[in-house]
Amino acid sequence: MVKRSVVAAVIAIIVIIAIVGAAAWYLAAPPAPTPTPTTPTPVLKRTLTISFANVPTLDPAVGSDEASSSAFVNLYDTLVYPTKTGEVVPHLAERWEVSPDGLTWTFYLRKGVKFHDGTELTAEDVVFSAKRFVTIGEGYSYLLSPYLEDVRAVDDYTVEFKLKTTFGPFLTTLVRLYILNKDLVMKNIKTPGPYGEFGDYGKSWLLTNDAGSGPYKLKEVKLEE
């Protein structure tokens, strides 16, 4: 009985020490830090002012001067894009293939590219833009018109260009083929016009509007100011 009492007493002492130790650790431990509320970073609104000697033409099938070209690359996208080293890399087209005779070029478009109005860019927009480009025959069209025989949409994301003859710099010329939103332009054509069923091909509307998918969207144009 005495041994059992001693053992029980020892166990009780150990339990008490453990409880006291745990309580002491709890009291000594620093409280969890209170999260400091973060203040959201304010959005800075800045205005970029660029001065040109002439007023830019906003229709990518018409203009070719420095001011117009600066507008095009910001408002529109192209199938391919030039690097600083002169290399041409994929842009709207993620890849392409060339036939053995060099006359057929097939481009495979990126999916999910959106125009500024939220609609998706497809092969039909590329076909429309290319045909409009050579039909209007202004601006940079001289780079492509002599060599392009036909362009067609194979499916929603595949475009096929057929050339009249082999043309080594063909891929490079496509850095000037800016892709327009076909439906948006067609909704804003004026008829009658010099291009038959296409009326004025949207040239009047594109004087003060954009139909692109580029990094910037045209907000306002004030003429003669």
> What confidence score (pLDDT) does residue 181 get?
99
> What confidence score (pLDDT) does residue 222 get?
78
> What confidence score (pLDDT) does residue 175 get?
97
pLDDT in tens, 28-50: 445 555 566 667 777 676 666 66
3 state DSSP class of 107: strand
Distance CA 13, CA 219 (A): 81
Are 215 and 91 in contact by the 8 Å Cβ rule? The answer is no
pLDDT in tens, 51-83: 676 778 999 999 999 999 999 999 999 999 999
Question: Which is the CATH superfamily of the domain at 79-180?
Answer: Periplasmic binding protein-like II (3.40.190.10)
pTM as predicted? 0.78
**Cβ neighbour number for residue 124 with a 10 Å cutoff:** 14
Does residue 39 or residue 118 have the better pLDDT? 118
Nearest to 96 by CA among 160, 153, 147, 154: 160
pLDDT in tens, 180-206: 999 999 999 999 999 999 999 999 999
Are 143 and 130 in contact by the 8 Å Cβ rule? The answer is no
Using CA atoms, how far residue 175 sits from 29, 83, 86, 129, 194, in Å, is: 66, 11, 11, 13, 27
**Arithmetic mean of pLDDT over the chain:** 86
Q: What is the token pair recorded at 157? A: 């994301």
> What confidence score (pLDDT) does residue 195 get?
97
| Segments making up each domain of the chain, as ranges | 1-29, 79-180
pLDDT in tens, 89-111: 999 999 999 999 999 999 999 99
Contacts with 163 (C-beta within 8 Å, 6 or more apart), sequence order:
102, 103, 104, 105, 147, 148, 149, 170
> Do β-strands 88-90 and 104-109 pair in parallel, antiparallel, or remain unpaired?
unpaired
Distance CA 143, CA 147 (A): 8
CA 47 to chain centre: 21
